[in-house]
Amino acid sequence: MSLRVLVGVKRVIDYAVKVRVKPDKTGVVTDGVKHSMNPFDEIAIEEAVRMKEKNIVKEIIAVSCGPQQCQETIRTALAMGADRGIHVEVAGKEYEAMQPFHVSKILAKLAQEEKVDIVLVGKQAIDDDCNQTGQMTAALLDWSQACFASKVEKTDGELTVTREIDGGLEVIKVKLPAVITSDLRLNEPRYATLPNIMKAKKKPMAKKTAADLGVDLTPRHEVLSVEDPPVREAGIKVETVEDLVGKLKQSGVI
Amino acid sequence: MKAVICSVIHKLGTFSRQSATSRTIFTAGLNGVRPEHEGYATDNGGKIYLSDVMQNIKENTEISRDHLTPEIALHLITPNCKLWTALDGDIIFPDPFWAFYWPGGQVLTSFVELNIRLNAELNRVHLHIDQRNLLGTVAEKWDVILLGDMFYDEVFTKVVADWLEILQRDFKKLILIGDPGRAAFVRHPISTKLKRVAKCELHPQCKMENNGLTYGYVWQYSS
């Protein structure tokens, strides 16, 4: 029971919300829209808590970068079983332009400051689908990485991680310290219940800025345009198999 | 031997009751005991009756012995109660900290029972409840100081730890602390001055109430 884990939790538009593109095509509408914790990050927190319950992990620190409301996301992580939180406040234009590169620099710096053994993040966020933060954090720290994990086991000073890859599973051993990114099948996260929600309010949450961590938030790439996917064209209904074959021939498919 | 048990008093706080036509907010600062029919004055000029409070507690809790001291039955919110899954806004008791048997308290009570046979000597134990804040006072009249779950918050941990340091250093009191290893406690320098005297696995129910915690510990403060 000795490991310390840093878990990244991102506040994203709730998975059940229908996302709308802003009229000026600079991004998506976020005002007045329900937000919640990125589902892959929920899986990451759950895994850390399970490791704590198996006495592999001693302390779990949940970190979120973004506006004030990120503190709600951190509170959810604390209710799920994280021990304390760090809110790295990034607001306004800086937040809109923040990219995985900046988040991974923040995570890498915090990992060193907090002397953690594992950085655990979701494999990607459901808003931008970048799938970059974990990998870049590992690169910046020069740590082992185990991405798309569907099983994590501790063996001596190493971790045995089962990874989801195209067409199957890959089992690898990584030395600690390491960065792990969680895939969908790693676990099923618990719901926060009343006693845990109440107790989470008493858990410590530190507030920092990117400047405190020496991280420059200048954007490294520019978003040119965000567009809605093309609207699907209406189909037609055919009455018989002959009609169907005729239509398919007509359109050159067969 | 005289012992003092320190714990946080969880007031019933603002008590709200939903009715079909109106939402009445009561404040129940239950200081002292009065006959049930007399009632307590509330902030908004109304009255709340102890019998109502007790009725609400009975309706929303379950009598449970599923903890480390099963000889004590307690009205608690358990997974069988609808409040277990309630969100903040839906509950008639805001933050009902009193409705859960905290892990540090469980293991400390169990330890004390085992070690000084509190049950056997129950008839000779004189229990006095003092609702004043005793933190920072000179605890001359007690030989033993017991604390359960007092280190759940960073600021409060510092206040309690400073007090304990004086009690130990200047008065050589026996100090026993029950805590499940919360961050505020393990991160405070006080933890370097403690000797673990008991370790107990928490019941599954208690683990569910305290995600991530699995054991309760009793620590003895030693210089």
8 A C-beta contact, residue A30 and residue A13: yes
Smallest Cβ–Cβ distance between B85 and the set A79, A82, A194 belongs to A194
Residue B10 confidence (pLDDT): 63
- Best of B76, B211, B217 to disrupt the A interface by mutation (most A CBs within 10 Å)? B211
Enumerate the domain spans of chain A.
Answer: 3-250
Contact A60 B212 (CB under 8 A): yes
A237–B contact, CB cutoff 8 A: no
CA distance A103 to A127: 15
Q: CB distance B152–A193 less than 8 Å?
A: no
DSSP character at residue A192? P
DSSP string, B17-82: EE-SS-EEEEE----S---TTT-EE-TTS-EE-HHHHHHHHHHH-EEE--SS-TTS-EEE--TTSG
The residue of chain A with its CA nearest to that of B211 is: A81
Q: Are B211 and B166 in contact (CB under 8 A)?
A: no
Contact B81, B62 (CB under 8 A): yes
Its pTM stands at 0.84
For chain B, which residues lie within 8 Å of any Cβ of chain A, measuring from their own Cβ? 77, 79, 83-88, 91, 95-97, 100, 152-154, 182-184, 186, 207-214
Question: Domain limits of chain B?
Answer: 3-221
Arithmetic mean of pLDDT, A103-123: 98
The CATH T-level fold of domain A3-250 is: Rossmann fold (3.40.50)
Q: Return the SS3 of B177.
A: strand
**Of A144, A141, A122, A142, whose CA–CA distance to A132 is shortest?**
A122
- Are A8 and A110 within 8 A, CB to CB? no
Asked whether A82 and A7 are in contact (CB, 8 A), the reply is yes
Asked if this assembly's ipTM is beyond 0.90, the reply is: no
Nearest CB partner across the interface for A194, out of B84, B152, B186 = B84
A82-95 residue pLDDT tens: 999 999 999 989 99
CA distance B78 to B163: 34
Say whether pLDDT at A8 is over 90. Answer: yes
Q: Tens of pLDDT along chain B (223 residues)?
A: 777 777 776 655 444 433 322 223 333 334 344 444 556 665 566 666 777 778 888 888 999 999 999 988 999 999 999 888 887 666 677 788 889 999 999 999 888 877 765 555 555 677 777 778 888 887 777 888 899 999 988 888 999 999 998 888 888 888 999 999 988 888 888 888 899 999 999 999 999 999 999 999 999 987 6
